Amino acid sequence: MPCRGWRGTLLSMFNPVDSKPDLISLEHQMLARWRAEGTFERLRAQTAGGEPWSFLDGPITANNPMGVHHAWGRTYKDLFQRFRASLGHELRWQQGFDCQGLWVEVNVEKELGLTSKRQIEERGLAEFIRLCKQRVLTYAARQTEQSIRLGMWMDWNDPADLLRLRDALSDAPERELAITGAGGEVRGTPEGLIGQLGSPEVGVSYFTFSDENNDLIWSFLAECNRRGWLYKGSDSMPWCTRCGTGISQHEMTEGYADRDDPSAYFGFPLVDRPGEELLAWTTTPWTIPANVAAAVSPTLSYELVEFEGRKMWIGATRRVAALGGGAPRAKVLETKQGSELVGWRYRATFDAAPAVAAALGPDGAAHRVISWSDVGAEEGTSIVHIAPACGSEDHALCITEGLPMIAPIDEGGTYLEGFNELSGKDWLVVADLIFVALEQSGSLLRREKITHRYPHCWRCATPLAFRLVDEWFISMGATYEKPRAQLSAAEKAGSLRYQIMDVVDNISWLPSFGHDRELDWLRNMSDWMISKKRYWGLALPIYECEGCGAVEVLGSRAELEGRAVAGLDALAGHSPHRPYIDEVRIACAKCGGEVQRVPDVGNPWLDAGIVSLSTMRYRSDPEYWKRWFPADLITESFPGQFRNWFYSLLAMSTVMVGSEPTKTVFGYGLVFAEDGRQMHKSWGNSIEFDEAADRMGADVMRWLFAGSRPEENVHFGWNGADEARRKLLVLWNVYAFHIGYANSAGWRPGGVASPVADRGAMDRWILSRTADLVSTVEGALRNYDAQSAVARLEAAIDELSTWYLRRSRDRFDLSTAEADRNDAFATLHEALLTLLQVAAPIAPMLTDAIYTNLVADGATGSIHLQPWPKARVQGWRDQALEDSMSRVIRAAELGRSVRSAAAIRTRQPLALARVVFGGETPHAELLEILADELNVKRVESVTDASGLFERKVKVLLPKVGKRLGDKLQAVLAAARSGDVELLAGGAVRIVGLEFAPDEIEIQAIPREGGFVAEGGGLVVELETALTPELIAEGDVRELSRAVQDLRKRAGLQIGDPISLYLPESARSLAPYTEQLTQSVGARSIEFGATAGDVADQIELSFGDTAFSFRRSAG
RNA sequence: GGGGGGGUAGCUCAGUUGGUUAGAGCUCCGAGCUUAUAUCUCGGCGGUCCCUGGUUCGAUUCCAGGCCCCCCUACCA
């Protein structure tokens, strides 16, 4: 046995490595080390001045702790950035937080226990807005810490600074304080500093509530107004009564849920046809008091039916459905076309209510039947109850028909005055009262329960009502039927929609269907509703004069300050948010009257959409801007983003600069739980980010995410993490092996080794594979294909461990000649280092931990400061060798398969393997590797193995099937039974039909009972005859293995010497004593003795054999 | 309601320009290898290729109809 490590005590060693690493604590060590050594700052310094690679981070909503779903995107963001930095690019490293909007308000409301807008206003807007800001800072700090834990390298704010700003906002709002800015310490008031977060001076992460962000949005809105695209619209909109705001089309994502509602069949008595009524149906009974019209289809036919003493008009196809079980008793009295009903006047149950009478005249005089082509024959009664304030189509219809409107509820969903007993009641609970009223007036025919998809508020899940509201919109322009290419310049100039589409074409969308989805959204979207009747958000710079109606949109705070005639004092020292900005008045440019800002705040996607301009210093630094715009990449989870961030980014960039904000959009799916369902705490399948980081580790999480298919949803959980960890553990064990043996042999990096070209085939092979790894992964990552990169890396880890190292293990032992051993160490070291560098962007902590020990030069820092290893692998590629080796590997698989089928264990040596390599015979060195792997004395390459096979003629069906038709089965049967006549020139005749050589294939099928396997163009046959020598060698190996196993169980270390005792019956193994002592680390072997203190027995060729050993001294 | 994708082993998914015997990974079982490895190797179990009809010598694949799931989209009463 080699003396272990005796030289290691003289030389500096690698730190010893445990084969079972604690990945979590390793990660914490690396994070601490990066922080202590300023590794990230060194990388930035190193890449400064490089060719820019511009990444634009989509802002994460700073409203809650990060979830594991964020970790997927952040893994991509970080790995592509790290990869680009290793290529030498300069990066901006700016990360962003989304800060404004209803989602923050909702959480603050919850914390305060508030449930309505009135309560917020009573409490005071100033405090509410401050709490919103503070919540954002709280979670920005938290998410910063979590992102750092994930190993994400960005130019982070010190979380402690963010929390100090947060606290100062309420504790000492007037006092100046200092935080660490981009270029050192920056001083200012808390509100002032907060407003400048992300700016060049204060740095570093951007916050969408920043002054610059808000100000640039103002200039965007002013530009839209200048082009005539900004307008105030009046419409009936989905409305959340809890939030007190309209819900825009952008926000309807996931806004639908099943809901049980009462539906009503109810009658409208006709004025001019006494005793007859119209039968209508609705699923929203709360809108019945607001009825103004009944719509019929002009082309459908309607019947007057007599039923239970009533005479009712019903759509002809709806009679049975409307009347339910009693329908057969109904008698049809009369039939009319829908168009004949138009104009009929009718009465309704709530006509006497003051609000209804005020709108419709006494007795609801204005009620009439109108014609509407969209009325269908499949639902209800084909007579549609129309309430213009309660649906956008109803609203449009009533404008065309010149009908009055009744708006029954206020912004909180409460019935207004003038609806008798309904007034003051919530819209969600009035249904019962309405049914009572319908019942009493004799109108109600039937009520049912139905389950239907109904819109809900995406934030608070309250069912949405419809309300008539004034909101502000950006016009998307007309849509045309003709293809886009045929639009005139004027048509395009007037339509933002088509301008954005042209920009979409300039972007590379990954996956490619993103392009079509974005265009589809643009084609179909209606105008962009940008206002919200809320508090925390962009203050819309819209000034509408109450006196003359003139509308002005201001383009900056400076402009506002120039125009202000009152209220500037209130705004001074504050960010442009409510309530302070509301105090400022300007003079109307048209009539001179004093004008107040509209109270609305902006749609939050304005905030995120401006960042390609605001964070890239569009206004403040044109040189910088040109260097970084457009971005090379944005990447976000695509559900929802086509209508949200992607859309707003595109729209705002198109309006402001007329070009694409990014060259590539890389989208990915959603994170689901391992059971394939969405993660829900209440379902017990949810995993928190912190929990995942602490239990599976960030690198494992990153590996799992990076290896997932981006276009599919990823199923995230502990099992998947285990799989990823197993791959990384194999890598770790290659490393542990390397360190263990290098310490033992006293090997150090940079020692003597042969030039690569002079090394053995195994060494040249793994280095060639490594060169391929580098170029394959580089190509994949340049294409944003992390999945392929991970797959290639996993294959590389497998090759390195299970082929290179397993086959080369002996060469690292001290018994191997030093020159060869050094080559082996050098090769393993180079291959491993290169692999680590390629894997570093994906698993940055684990790879750096290994790297720093492996270079045994920890002082020089980090794997992340190394350039992409393209240059190092120059000249390593040897395609011919790789081809040969892959056939050798395949032959080894076939050989193992033969052994398995023949039930000959691998430890039993065999004399010969005959191999048909199906190509050039591999080099003798490779044949030796194969012989060793298969435990055969010799490998013989043969070209003709006809003795092993039967010839079978295979008819190529795709070629001859059509021609043969129904004779096919007979031909196949004959071919199967071998009833085939071989003709000259390779043709054959079967059942009298001739087949050309290219219509058949002559197959070699191994003969039954032969020890043969074939596949992939290779054939392997093993010679299974055993000689006494072979049997004895097999026994020796079997015995060695058993002794080794017992050594391990007895707790002996490698190198602990033993004295081995064998029974007299094993005397036949005496010629192999030397080999045996070598392999089991024995000082001596005695036959016919049982003096050991540890014993076991095994079955050898000559029978059960008991053996024992004792640890011997020294 | 409209548009798109899908239904293949217990699970996650490939694949089939129509062709004789439909694959991989994970799980399970058996065997093998191994003092770097929780690794690895060989094999086995496991299938109505959603259902029905049509075209065809032949359909999991093409066509029609139906059922179910997912995504996008939609204020249909």
| Predicted local confidence at residue A450, as pLDDT | 76
- Using an 8 Å Cβ cutoff, are A1037 and A1092 in contact? no
| Predicted local confidence at residue A5, as pLDDT | 35
Domain borders along chain A are 256-455, 541-599, 699-876, 878-1024, 1028-1111
Q: Verify if strand B has an atom below 7 Å from the CB of A733.
A: yes
- Dihedral angle, C-alpha A969, A973, A976, A981, nearest 10 °: -100
* Protein CA at A478 to nucleotide C1' at B68, angstroms: 40
Half-sphere exposure of A219 (CA within 13 A, CB side): 17
Distance (Å, rounded) from C-alpha A726 to C-alpha A386? Answer: 64
Q: Which residues from the 320-359 window of protein chain A have CB within 7 angstroms of nucleic acid chain B?
A: none
The nucleotide minimizing the C1' distance to residue A975's CA is B20
The nucleotide minimizing the C1' distance to residue A669's CA is B71
- Dihedral angle, C-alpha A347, A350, A356, A361, nearest 10 °: 30
* Protein CA at A807 to nucleotide C1' at B37, angstroms: 14
Q: Verify if strand B has an atom below 7 Å from the CB of A954.
A: yes
Q: Verify if strand B has an atom below 7 Å from the CB of A453.
A: yes
Helix (H, G, I), strand (E, B) or coil at A593: coil
Q: Count of residues for chain A?
A: 1114
Question: Under CATH, which architecture does the A1028-1111 domain have?
Answer: 2-Layer Sandwich (3.30)
Give residue-wise pLDDT tens across range A541-555.
Answer: 999 999 999 999 999
Q: Which residues from the 386-425 window of protein chain A have CB within 7 angstroms of nucleic acid chain B?
A: 391-393, 396
Work out the angle between the directed axes of helices A23-37 and A698-706 (0-180°, nearest 10).
100
* Protein CA at A8 to nucleotide C1' at B70, angstroms: 61
Pick the CATH number of A256-455 from 3.40.190.10, 3.40.50.2300, 3.90.740.10, 3.10.290.10: 3.90.740.10
Distance (Å, rounded) from C-alpha A257 to C-alpha A119? Answer: 28
* Protein CA at A708 to nucleotide C1' at B61, angstroms: 28
- Among residues A476, A470, A77, A554, the alpha carbon closest in space to that of A250 is found at A476
Helix (H, G, I), strand (E, B) or coil at A337: strand
Q: Verify if strand B has an atom below 7 Å from the CB of A730.
A: yes
Residue with structure tokens 């609705």? Answer: A282
* Protein CA at A718 to nucleotide C1' at B77, angstroms: 48
Element of type H or E holding A187? strand A184-188
Distance (Å, rounded) from C-alpha A412 to C-alpha A80? Answer: 47
Q: Which residues from the 663-702 window of protein chain A have CB within 7 angstroms of nucleic acid chain B?
A: 676
DSSP code at position A156: P
Helix (H, G, I), strand (E, B) or coil at A14: coil
Give the DSSP letter string of A614-643: HTTTTTT-HHHHHHH-SBSBEEEE-TTTTT
Distance (Å, rounded) from C-alpha A1083 to C-alpha A1059? Answer: 6
Give the residue with minimal CA–C1' separation from B11.
Answer: A675
DSSP code at position A71: H
Portion of chain A with pLDDT greater than 90, in percent: 49
Structure tokens at A208: 């969408």
- Among residues A350, A360, A354, A364, the alpha carbon closest in space to that of A417 is found at A354
| Predicted local confidence at residue A268, as pLDDT | 95
* Protein CA at A523 to nucleotide C1' at B77, angstroms: 27
Distance (Å, rounded) from C-alpha A179 to C-alpha A164? Answer: 9
What's the CA angle centered on A138, arms A136 and A143, to 5 degrees?
A: 90
| Predicted local confidence at residue A350, as pLDDT | 94
Q: Which residues from the 787-816 window of protein chain A have CB within 7 angstroms of nucleic acid chain B?
A: 798, 801-802, 805-806, 809
* Protein CA at A18 to nucleotide C1' at B38, angstroms: 14
Give the residue with minimal CA–C1' separation from B17.
Answer: A958
- Among residues A136, A223, A117, A130, the alpha carbon closest in space to that of A600 is found at A117
Give the residue with minimal CA–C1' separation from B19.
Answer: A957
* Protein CA at A956 to nucleotide C1' at B63, angstroms: 26
Q: Which residues from the 870-909 window of protein chain A have CB within 7 angstroms of nucleic acid chain B?
A: 893, 896-897, 899-901, 905-907
The nucleotide minimizing the C1' distance to residue A1053's CA is B35
* Protein CA at A222 to nucleotide C1' at B13, angstroms: 52
Q: Verify if strand B has an atom below 7 Å from the CB of A258.
A: no
Give the residue with minimal CA–C1' separation from B33.
Answer: A906
Distance (Å, rounded) from C-alpha A788 to C-alpha A796? Answer: 12
The nucleotide minimizing the C1' distance to residue A963's CA is B57
Distance (Å, rounded) from C-alpha A170 to C-alpha A194? Answer: 13
* Protein CA at A1011 to nucleotide C1' at B22, angstroms: 27
Q: Which residues from the 96-125 window of protein chain A have CB within 7 angstroms of nucleic acid chain B?
A: none
Q: Verify if strand B has an atom below 7 Å from the CB of A25.
A: no
Specify the CATH class of A699-876 in words: mainly alpha
Distance (Å, rounded) from C-alpha A915 to C-alpha A939? Answer: 7
Helices marked H in A310-363 — which ranges? 319-323, 338-341, 354-360
Q: Give chain A's mean pLDDT.
A: 88
Nucleotides of B under 7 A from a protein CB: 11-13, 17-20, 26, 30-43, 56-58, 71-77
| Predicted local confidence at residue A1004, as pLDDT | 63
Give the DSSP letter string of A237-295: EEEETTTTEE--GGGGTT-EEEEEEEEEEEEEEBSSSTTEEEEEEES-GGGGGG--EEE
- Among residues A29, A49, A26, the alpha carbon closest in space to that of A37 is found at A29
Distance (Å, rounded) from C-alpha A495 to C-alpha A525? Answer: 13
Kindly list the distances between the CA atom of residue A430 and the CA atoms of A238, A452, A469, in Å, as whole numbers in the listed order.
19, 19, 22
Q: Verify if strand B has an atom below 7 Å from the CB of A639.
A: yes
Q: Which residues from the 289-308 window of protein chain A have CB within 7 angstroms of nucleic acid chain B?
A: 295
DSSP code at position A696: T
Structure tokens at A222: 């002013």
* Protein CA at A253 to nucleotide C1' at B2, angstroms: 17
Distance (Å, rounded) from C-alpha A155 to C-alpha A234? Answer: 45
Task: Please identify every stretch of chain A with a pLDDT value under 50, giving residue numbers as ranges.
Answer: 1-11
| Predicted local confidence at residue A838, as pLDDT | 94
The nucleotide minimizing the C1' distance to residue A1015's CA is B42
The nucleotide minimizing the C1' distance to residue A726's CA is B38
The nucleotide minimizing the C1' distance to residue A1047's CA is B35
* Protein CA at A658 to nucleotide C1' at B74, angstroms: 31
Give the residue with minimal CA–C1' separation from B32.
Answer: A905
* Protein CA at A777 to nucleotide C1' at B44, angstroms: 37
Distance (Å, rounded) from C-alpha A608 to C-alpha A339? Answer: 51
The nucleotide minimizing the C1' distance to residue A1048's CA is B35
DSSP code at position A863: G
Give the residue with minimal CA–C1' separation from B75.
Answer: A391
Distance (Å, rounded) from C-alpha A126 to C-alpha A113? Answer: 17
DSSP code at position A1112: P
Q: Verify if strand B has an atom below 7 Å from the CB of A375.
A: yes
Q: Which residues from the 1080-1099 window of protein chain A have CB within 7 angstroms of nucleic acid chain B?
A: 1080-1081
> Is-cis flag, bond preceding A511, omega within 30?
yes
The nucleotide minimizing the C1' distance to residue A395's CA is B75
* Protein CA at A701 to nucleotide C1' at B52, angstroms: 46
Q: Verify if strand B has an atom below 7 Å from the CB of A1044.
A: yes
